Amino acid sequence: MSEQNLDSDFQKKSSLPVDIMKLLMVLAFILLAGAISHYWQGVIICLGASVGMFLAERSGSSRRREFLFLLGIPLLSYWLVLMSSFLLYSDDVTAAQVSLWALIGLCTGIVPAALSVVVLSIASALIDKLTGLCLLKYDWNHIH
C-alpha cells in the first residue's frame, strides 16, 4: 500500500465522529420533513438512501460494495415499507401472495431507491453551495 493510500485511509477513519454527526443531522432533517409532510414511506426510503450513501463513502475500494450500499439499502427500505403495509392491510394472506408481493416490491423498488439517492445527492450539493455545510458527500467520479 502506498503512503498516499495510508494517509487517505487515516483521514477517513479519523473524521468518522464528525461524519456520523453529519449523518445524524441528515437523518434529523429527513425526519423533520416527514413530520411536516406526513409522507412516511418516502421518508423511510430517504433514510435508507442516506445511510447507504454514508456507508458507500466509507466502503473502501470496492465499486461493487459501493453499489450495494447506494442501491441496496434504499431498496431494502422500500421493500420493507411495501411488505409491512401489505401485511398490515390484508386479512387472509397466503404464502403465494406474500411471495408475489415480495417479488413485486423488489422489481418496483429499484426506481424509487435510485431516485432517493439522486435527490439526496442534489439536496446535499444545494445545501453545500448555499450554506457551506457539507452533509453527504459521495464522490461520483472517483476511480478505484
Residue 1 confidence class, pLDDT cut points 50, 70, 90: very low
Radius of gyration of the chain (CA): 18
Q: What is the pLDDT of residues 15-58, one digit of tens each?
A: 667 778 888 888 898 899 888 998 888 899 999 999 998 888 88
**pLDDT tens digits, residue range 89-106?**
888 888 898 899 899 988
Backbone angle region of 139, left / alpha / beta, with phi > 0 → left and psi within -120 to 50 → alpha:
beta
Specify the pLDDT at position 47: 92
**HSE-up of residue 58 (Cα within 13 Å, Cβ side):** 17
Helix (H) or strand (E) holding 116: helix 110-131
CA 25/CA 33 separation, integer angstroms: 12
Distance between CA atoms of residues 79 and 130, nearest Å: 34
Query: What does the mean pLDDT of the chain come to?
Result: 82
